[in-house]
Amino acid sequence: MTSFTSPSELAVPSRVPRLALALLTAAVLAWVLGAVYTLRWNPEVRFFHRVHEAKRAWAAGLSPSNRVLLVGGSGCMTSMDPVRMREAHGLNVLNLGLGAGAGAKFLGRYAMDWARPGDLLILSIEPGILTGAIDWKSLGVQLAAANGTWQLWEEPGSWEWPSRLLGLRPGGQHLFTLLGKAVLRQPWYRYGIDEIRPGGWHEVAARREVPSPGPGPVALSPEARAWLADLKAQCDRKGVSVAYAIPWFYGSEADRPAMVEAHQRFLEDVGRIVPILPDPSMGVNTRREDYADSLVHPTGEAARRRTDDLARILRNWHPGSVTR
């Protein structure tokens, strides 16, 4: 007996490829929408991109010789006014501070992309991000793309572009945070574009209670130690001097001895790899009124004083004067 296959039975297998194609198309469209949102409308990325643009405009007017490049997280971005460095102290300083959330790998590559032979690179990266894994963070991936510095994504000997591209998607926490702000009618981002000063210095307007943190990290992670040694080697090959400067933290009078001790041990660890920029404060400031909304974000007036302190340190120091 001859059996016949109904048209509906013939159609079943063809649905699978169509369904797979539909799912793939939806996934690609979702990624495209997410990437477009990240690069054009994400308030955090837009803020840091504007900071980057301010740095680029400032760098264009700097003398090409005797430059000092200071890189780190937001503590660096908010603590040093490059305009004051030049006008009050005659120093060619480029503040390359961005967000600590971008990660040490991005911050190091960002700095080296600016560095030129003869420059002095001061690493003022928060110790907390040098005690764990040194890898790509979503914010670092997104800032490299938003700033047009795609070359920072490259990994010698491997092809990492697919994972970098996936990093352009906004995370679930980010979306839920935006939803909460929309419901509560809060600003999309707590920092405004109008707080960005010439040279990329961020003068923080926000104010909130800042508790004393107590002792901080005391040692580099193995990954951070290898990363720092590699960065030092890159600087040597490029003819760039490099040193580390501890960021300026708030700490209560009661916590200051323990914080200084922790910072001292951390600096001893770092100093085995790169010179240390000497700082009499040991990175601790006990004046609560000097801080805006974070234990590393000084007020505008305090940042000007910190800028003056750094200028005096730089005036009296050169890379060969520090014992490791």
The pLDDT value recorded for residue 118 is 96
**3 state DSSP class of 277:** coil
| pTM (two decimals) | 0.89
Question: Residue 73: which pLDDT band, with cuts at 50, 70 and 90?
Answer: very high
The pLDDT value recorded for residue 290 is 98
Spatial distance between the Cα atoms of 64 and 118, rounded to a whole number of angstroms: 9
How many beta carbons lie within 10 A of that of residue 243, not counting itself?
23
CATH of the domain at 218: 3.40.50.1110
225 has a pLDDT exceeding 60: yes
Question: Residue 322: which pLDDT band, with cuts at 50, 70 and 90?
Answer: very low
Specify if 180 maps to a domain.
no
49: containing domain: 42-149+193-321
Q: What is the pLDDT of residues 266-299, one digit of tens each?
A: 999 999 999 999 999 999 999 999 999 999 999 9
Specify the pairing of strand 241-244 against strand 120-124.
parallel
Number of domains present in the structure of the chain: 1
Specify if 24 maps to a domain.
no
Specify if 33 maps to a domain.
no
The pLDDT value recorded for residue 2 is 54
**3 state DSSP class of 170:** coil
Closest CA to 269 of 216, 314, 212, 213: 216
Specify if 158 maps to a domain.
no
* 166 against 227, higher pLDDT: 227
Specify if 35 maps to a domain.
no
**3 state DSSP class of 278:** coil
Spatial distance between the Cα atoms of 239 and 50, rounded to a whole number of angstroms: 29
